[in-house]
Amino acid sequence: MLYTRKGDSGTTKTFGCDQRISKSSAIAEALGTLDEINSFLGFLKIKSVDVFFVLEKNNLNVPETIDRIQQDLFIVQAETAGAEKNITLEKVKWLEYIIDNIEKSLPPIKTFFVSGGTELASISDIARTIARRAERRVVGVHDEGLAKISPETLAYLNRLSSVLYAFARMFNHINGISEEAPRYD
């Protein structure tokens, strides 16, 4: 059944908890934003079908990479909801590997860049901003002591926006699109 009527009064339940919380609570907001980034990554995944980046002589299949990130985000959601699950250091290092290797094939960053270029770069930039918001919401839950969030999970969320930024830059680069710096005029 797609509805239970239990949330009609503006409350919801989290993982393994009998207590209902307000849908406007910090935890509900964090979980909703994590769901939003995960859903948007699904859009990026289908739009990037058959896109590969060459990293250290290996092909990085972008849709498979995004799928793996989506699976990791379910761990973040479970932890934020109070489950005894958390992101491992290996998952953080995996994102760092991708970021570092994409960065090696791109010109160095000397300024901010105006979003745009290719469709995939634009979609990646939108995903990056949603990921940043999800990170802020989860940090808020952590800072308020509403859930115990591991340092690895916080690092993973921070790297998530970086990998999406690297994707945006790479999508433009492989299509010969130059990055546009802001003019501030």
Element (H or E) spanning 70, and its range? helix 62-80
- DSSP per residue over 39-60, as a string? HHHHHHHHHTTT-EEEETTEEE
State the Cα–Cα distance between residues 158 and 71, nearest whole angstrom. 17
State the Cα–Cα distance between residues 171 and 116, nearest whole angstrom. 10
Residue 34: HSE in the Cβ half-sphere, 13 Å Cα cutoff:
28
Tokens read off for 178: 């130059």
Q: What is the pTM of this model?
A: 0.89
State the Cα–Cα distance between residues 72 and 66, nearest whole angstrom. 10
Set out the domains of the chain in order of their start, with CATH numbers.
32-174 (1.20.1200.10)
pLDDT tens string 95-139: 999 999 999 988 887 777 878 899 999 999 999 999 999 999 999
> Are 183 and 113 in contact, with CB atoms under 8 Å apart?
no
pLDDT tens string 36-65: 999 999 999 999 988 877 776 678 899 999
Bridge partner residues of 55 (DSSP): 58
Query: Strand, helix or coil at 12?
Result: strand
